[in-house]
Structure 1
Amino acid sequence: MTEQPRQPQPRKVHHLDARTLRGLAHPLRMRLLSSLRLDGPATASQLAARLGESSGATSYHLRQLAEYGFVEDDPGRGKGRERWWRSVHQGTWTDEDLIRDRAPEVQGALSTLLFEYATQRAQEVTTWIATRHEWSQEWGEAADTSDFTLDLTPELASELSHKIHELVDSYRESPPEEGAPDAAKVRVHSHVFPTRPVTADDI
């Protein structure tokens, strides 16, 4: 009997609006959600141990995340009063309407969100650098921490971002076979932003 190739499951993405943005824009809530997405379902106590927080704090912020639709109970786990949580979605999308919204509370929440994303991504890269000796030579050669500088218009920068997303999504459509040797969950970071040249006034 020929084994059928694994088919990727449709990826559920949470599209933020002004309300859910404010519900997510808290450093601990963002770390909790990231942990559930990357490491799988967990209890408030397990998440507290993972993140170095108190179980009271993780429990409170998990309930807040549930109120805004980011996490939910995992009915297949837990016994008695033990409550397991899982992420409802695999990703979060910030719509352009939020970027255009000039309301101070929206822009404040968006800044909190982006600063925390930057912090988390920097931590992921430094963790890789600190632990790269634990990985195989093949992974050491495959990993990449490049950066590039291009001259673009906003339209070209948007086109570049969309092409990067399409390329990443194409790899979701052909995941490695289950049990493939040396397969690992890979994090891919993408940052596209303008910069200003240094002038004599900055020196």
Structure 2
Amino acid sequence: MVIYRRSMDESPPRSSASSPDPFSDALVLDARSLRGIAHPLRWRILTLLQRRGPLTGKAVSEALEITSASASYHLRQLHTYGFLTEDPGLGTSRERWWRAPQSGIRLPERLDTEAPELATATRAAMALMWGERLAAAVDAWASQPEEWREAQGMSDRLTQLTAEETDALREELRLVLDRYARRPGPEADTEAPDSRLVQVQLALFPSPYPDDQRPHENGGEER
């Protein structure tokens, strides 16, 4: 799953020729589609279908350990809001197969003004899902093979930046990720036989905690 936040009057960023463009088929969210994805379970379902689809409702319920009724309801909601399509080539009169046609999602900046509550709920759902995956990775950390124990990492850093510097840092980090991009999912690249699917979680934002703010050199507080 790729989430990219960008103004609507800007074009998606271009990846290098040697890397797939993760935004080439991204679904652009609007106020209506936000209503369909601002739910933690729907993020899990959509991510599952992007990586393993197409799948039936029964397969989704088994993979996520949820009831068939719950899987069916949320699949229909994702379909209604444009996140999923049916695969008629696989379906029957008694069984529907679902596919996620886009591998990426773009969250335009204007939605923070047009639908702030839904935009916040959408990010909260993403954060919850990513937090669950990180917690699961921590549980398995020590049991990984030695080369993977040494390769994986967690880090956190506070640094004093302007908004312009923060935007530049985000772009530089995106370019680094693009250099290593290989498409996951059913049609994953197979050029690296010893590779595993690696999740990179990236977030940068002004610290929400007042105590983190540094006082000015003259002793006054920052304003």
TM-score bracket, shorter-length normalisation: 0.7 to 0.9
**TM-score, with structure 2 as normaliser:** 0.75
Is residue 156 of structure 2 the alignment partner of residue 147 of structure 1? yes
Aligned-pair CA distance for 1:80: 5.0
Partner of 1:58: 71
Aligned-pair CA distance for 1:124: 0.8
Percent identical among aligned pairs is 35
Is residue 82 of structure 2 the alignment partner of residue 69 of structure 1? yes
Pick closer, same or farther for the CA change 1:113–1:79 going to 2, 3 Å.
same
Partner of 1:189: 201
Partner of 1:169: 178
Is there any run of 5+ residues in structure 2 with no aligned partner, and where? Answer: 1-17, 213-223
Is there any run of 5+ residues in structure 1 with no aligned partner, and where? Answer: 1-5
Q: Distance in 1 between matches of 2:203 and 2:58?
A: 33
Aligned-pair CA distance for 1:179: 6.0
Aligned-pair CA distance for 1:78: 4.5
By relative contact order (CA 8 Å, sep 6+), the higher-ranking structure is 2
Partner of 2:135: 126
Matched AA of 1:100: T
Q: Distance in 2 between matches of 1:186 and 1:160?
A: 22
Q: Distance in 2 between matches of 1:126 and 1:173?
A: 24
Say how many residue pairs are matched.
190
**TM-score, with structure 1 as normaliser:** 0.82
Superposition RMSD in Å? 2.6
Q: 2:190 aligns with which of 166, 178, 196?
A: 178
Aligned-pair CA distance for 1:110: 1.3
Pick closer, same or farther for the CA change 1:28–1:173 going to 2, 3 Å.
closer
